[in-house]
A and B are shown apart, each in its own frame.
Chain A
């Protein structure tokens, strides 16, 4: 970058133009506005000193953006009703100039662009109006009336006029932004993109060695109670609420005009005192503001605390706390997409609408970059995708979006070195991550895997089981006619011939069949006796079969076959002792008995599947229970 050195026409101090196309600069010694006409310089007069601020950027700051190095060579400080922002004039190493916007520590790089067609006049421009520039769709989000508050360094045009003019901010869903500047006719268009401070790799920044409190540019006394008020966020502060009495005053008014008397008794004390410094996400933050807000749902009032945190390099963060549940919240530069009624899409995540309500600010302490009063109301809509929550405040033409991340109370307590322990979390919060999230899916996947293995094994077992017939016999039984004296017990008992049971320890199936059984029953008391050891397994089989016609419909009941499974039968010589009993006296029942070795069973494979399903079923139940408790807290005033 070629530099042009000369002397101030007013005081003679050396002046260096870092950018060859600079039209004006401000003498760093006498604050004369020096206008350049080729090599001639003319001092137009003295300019006001830049308002105090906490911007970390200064003339001479270096950075990088999209692969190009730049240097900050000038600055325009704008002021508007609620505060101010900086437009830093930057010059890239290839000679192109651009602007680094620093609005409440939200950074964006832009350059002048040629609109594809004439831009609308100020009176025609409305919030919400859409434009298409360079292939991207922009939506107008705010229109701000502002004027130059001060200038520093080199600028590509002459700034002297302090007339209030309109600036329209436009955003896209991809993090790009545009500004329509109505300070000239036709209006100017600037296109750019938001950038995080880390991305800009800024060097030669201002330092805040003592923290914000010590660098506070002003301290004053409350107009109402006289308590000391430290102004930490300088020109970013739109109003400040006295931490002692809650009276809201305008810090930019020389008379410290009272904007709002203290609201009744502000008995709601913040859990984190104003001025507390701490660390969140690896960055230092200072608590500069606090408000207590409420919503009313079905006549129940729900209130939460909201802390405003400031880091001069990273801007503002908000910390909300409701019944021990904490969220770290940041404003969004990129607009969510979707229908924004039931769902919102942001950064690849789908958020479900959780709640819509009207929030009322009840208590205010400290500084805020926007106008805030006790009693302010705003419509809020929350969309959740745990552990994140998208919140929209306001509606239609004046809405802002923020993104909250659920944060454990202990993280807050540790980060801010607070004494004691954080308040216990009560209930389930909207975006609280479920401790069961994902577990049912993992468990059911494991279940499917195990079931597949098991079914393959069981299938193999059913295919390969021996089912070898080791005994078969046919018998007949005629129940005795009823006499005065009942027949002796076991009178019909008999034993079968011995048979060999081969193989290792396995089961034996005894199956009885009586094909001619008709409206009768047969009971067989069966003992499998090991003739070598004298041990026996006692059991029985019962057959019954009934049929008939009732109301013209035929019915049957029971079965003519039944089986019995004898477990853990070792190899050896066996016989069966069979003791039959029957129903209809005098009617002969023909039946057969068959014994098979190694017959697969279905009960235990099914029992195994049942046991395997218990953990995933419990996990699903817990997960559903947690979600049910979460959505119990959902309310929607639109649905009322």
Chain B
């Protein structure tokens, strides 16, 4: 009985958390958050060095 009650509490806690996460758009992992992007970005996009870098590579093909 106690265990069932605990499970019920756990279940509602999980659902409440997940509902809040979904509502706020929170993610366990995702993009890097950066502060202080220069205002000159619009004129010189190359001046900003994003943390995410792509590197040219061959993705696929059999």
Binding site for B on A (CB under 8 A): 439, 442-443, 446-447, 450, 453-454, 457, 461, 479, 488-491, 493-495, 505-508, 519, 521, 523-529, 531, 533-540, 542, 544, 546, 548, 550, 555, 557-558, 564-569, 575, 577, 579, 581-583, 598, 600-601, 604-605, 607-608, 611-612, 615-616
Contacts and interface: CB of A to CB of B under 8 A. Distances in A.
B37 A546 contact: no
Contacts of B21: 604
A583 B58 contact: yes
A442 B52 contact: no
Contact of A534 (B14, B37, B54, B57): B37
A615 B7 CA distance: 7
Nearest to A540: B52
Contacts of B26: 567-568
A583 B56 contact: yes
B42 to A, nearest CB: 6
A257 B56 CA distance: 105
Interface of B: 3-4, 7-8, 10-12, 14-15, 18-19, 21-27, 30-39, 41-42, 45-46, 48-62
A626 to B, nearest CB: 15
In the complex, the 8 A-B pairs of residues with the closest C-beta atoms, listed nearest first: A507-B25, A523-B54, A539-B31, A544-B59, A490-B46, A567-B27, A608-B18, A493-B45
Contacts of B32: 537-539
Contacts, number: 171
Contact of A450 (B12, B22, B31, B35): B12
A231 B34 CA distance: 94
Contacts of B25: 505-508, 565-569, 598
A535 B34 contact: yes
Given A457-B19, A537-B30, 17 more contacts: A461-B22, A506-B23, A507-B27, A521-B59, A525-B50, A527-B52, A536-B37, A536-B50, A538-B32, A538-B52, A557-B61, A558-B59, A567-B26, A577-B45, A579-B45, A582-B56, A607-B18
B18 A575 contact: no
A611 B8 CA distance: 12
A600 B8 contact: no
B7 A446 contact: yes
B9 to A, nearest CB: 11
Contacts of A555: 62
Given A557-B61, A568-B26, A525 B41 contact: no
A45 to B, nearest CB: 70
20 contacts: A439-B3, A446-B8, A450-B12, A461-B22, A490-B45, A506-B25, A519-B61, A521-B57, A521-B58, A527-B34, A527-B37, A529-B37, A531-B42, A536-B48, A538-B50, A539-B31, A581-B56, A607-B18, A608-B18, A612-B14
A527 B24 contact: no
Contacts of A608: 14-15, 18
B35 to A, nearest CB: 5
